[in-house]
Structure 1
């Protein structure tokens, strides 16, 4: 097990669409991704954030509150989403110290393949839905800057890039 380096935006790999995994064994990568996420400390981490352009992410929305709820999602997809939208702040391990107000569906039904190869499906509500959608965006080459208005993006991105210099 090892902590992997997290790519920092605007690394071009964060803008690439990831390829499906299929039946490939990713247990080592997923173990390292969980270790990296907990070390960061974050609640979600997508493979492209550690330079692996495959459709996999890990998340644990409860660990910071004392309840471990690790979830590893291989080839995830949203099969249903609420029309109700929730707007709230989102941070990103690849864009440190630059949170943005992002609108997301209030709940989603996520389907994915687990480490055991079994297809799973679950409804995610609230923060869990937001986290899964954020990580799915990474698999599609999107970051939080791609989910906000042009004006907000210019302001937040500009301040972020200036602070990184």
Structure 2
């Protein structure tokens, strides 16, 4: 969990004196497919609550889009991408990527390698696998696919 520290100092000729210190809890750090955001990890990329355009690296990135209508490109590597709330566009490119559009009407595209796992979550999503064998699940809503996916879902 992130924390906000509020400290009040007084300065005298003899040095600094801490008068009061308060810790306020903030929102928990985002999690994507069981991976929690770590600002010290070089392959973790965190978006904002606005509309972001994020391009990953050639490494195995973990990209957290957060809120807003984001466009996220994973590039090479086995990326983990979570769009968050909003109408997002997620594209995996190379590697066996895992993507979750989150809430909103999302567009998810796998990449040129097989083994992508695409989850639309809530909303009216488009889920397209790309080349190779991919797993696609549109989630709740009126979802569409390009027909190259295997859609696994329990039927009531």
What TM-score, normalized by structure 2, do the two folds share? 0.23
More strand by share: 2
Tell me the TM-score normalized by structure 1.
0.22
Select the structure of larger CA radius of gyration.
Answer: 2
